A = this chain, B = another copy of it.
Amino acid sequence: MTKQELFENIKRKKSFLCVGLDTDIHKIPDYLLSEEDPIYTFNKAIIDATAPYCVAFKPNAAFYEGEGIKGIWAMEKTIEYIRTKYPDQFIILDAKRGDIGNTSERYASSAFEKMKAHAITVAPYMGEDSVKPFLKYQGRWVILLALTSNKGSQDFQLMEDANGERLFEKVLKKSQEWGSEEQMMYVVGATQGKMFEDIRKIAPDHFLLVPGVGAQGGSLEEVARYGMNKQCGLLVNSSRAIIYADNTEEFANAARAEAKKVQAEMAKYLSQLS
């Protein structure tokens, strides 16, 4: 999917919501546990319920790997389900990968050829040759960690050099030598508020994947105010607040209502785009 296509989907659906599929077998409604594949059954219902209100889905690899082979299988089927039934949805494999070149190549082929995701999240610590193998795939995306939503983002990401440039700013600058805004996005946490202004100075045109709205406490209004650009430039993710909105047979309807509520707020901010 190209940047322009993503923007067209955002305008058409009046939404820049990404629904995070952090599907935890211990948190889904009990009655689903008798299904042959409870995780996949849960995901299908969530996807069908929320697809009208979002433009992206983000399966979080940790939750599937945690269930071993059955979990991996559920993740593969989930991505396949989205791809075939909702081909306009942008699929992000949230995996935070990154290793030496020959190893990153394998992670890339796994994400893009086996799993057929559109994008994968990548950690920048190991530098250029750990990221570049992911950039070789035409039409696929690297979403590089820049300034994350968690408390630990303060431990190293805010480190300053002698000129006052911070690590996350170096990541934003340096990585633009490796790939363009047509194939790279950045993770910036919704909890970072005004820092979006600093980020937009360095990466005015990139899309940002923004986790941390909902359970983590970030403000959608602030993110839109400080982070939006002419092509929206935001994919705001919500996982727990949507997929676990209810724990009964009504879980999918509750997820739909929650996604619809977020979408309605997003429509308001999008209407301010010239």
Contacts and interface: CB of A to CB of B under 8 A. Distances in A.
Contacts of A124: 125, 155-156
15 contacts: A60-B103, A65-B106, A68-B76, A68-B114, A94-B99, A96-B99, A100-B216, A123-B125, A124-B155, A125-B125, A125-B157, A126-B148, A129-B151, A156-B171, A160-B161
Given A127-B152, A150-B127, A103 B145 contact: no
Interface string A99-113: 111111011011000
Contact of A170 (B65, B131, B153, B156): B156
A80 interface: no
Copies in the complex: 2
Interface footprint category on A:
35 or more
A38 interface: no
Contact of A103 (B22, B69, B98, B99): B22
Given A66-B106, A96-B97, A162-B160, A155 B127 contact: yes
A43 interface: no
A128 interface: yes
Contact of A128 (B94, B114, B151): B151
Contacts of A155: 124, 127-128, 174
Contacts of A135: none
Contact of A174 (B100, B156, B170): B156
Given A98-B96, A167-B167, A156 B73 contact: no
Given A60-B103, A68-B114, A152 B126 contact: yes
Nearest to A160: B161
A98 B96 CA distance: 7
Given A162-B160, A170-B159, A98 B127 contact: no
B162 A125 contact: no
B106 A62 contact: yes
A162 B114 CA distance: 45
Contacts of A150: 100-101, 126-127, 129-130
A72 interface: yes
Q: Which of A76, A159, A162, A167 has the most CB of B within 10 A?
A: A159
Given A62-B103, A73-B69, A125 B151 contact: no
A86 interface: no
Contacts of A269: none
Contacts of A60: 99, 103
A73 to B, nearest CB: 6
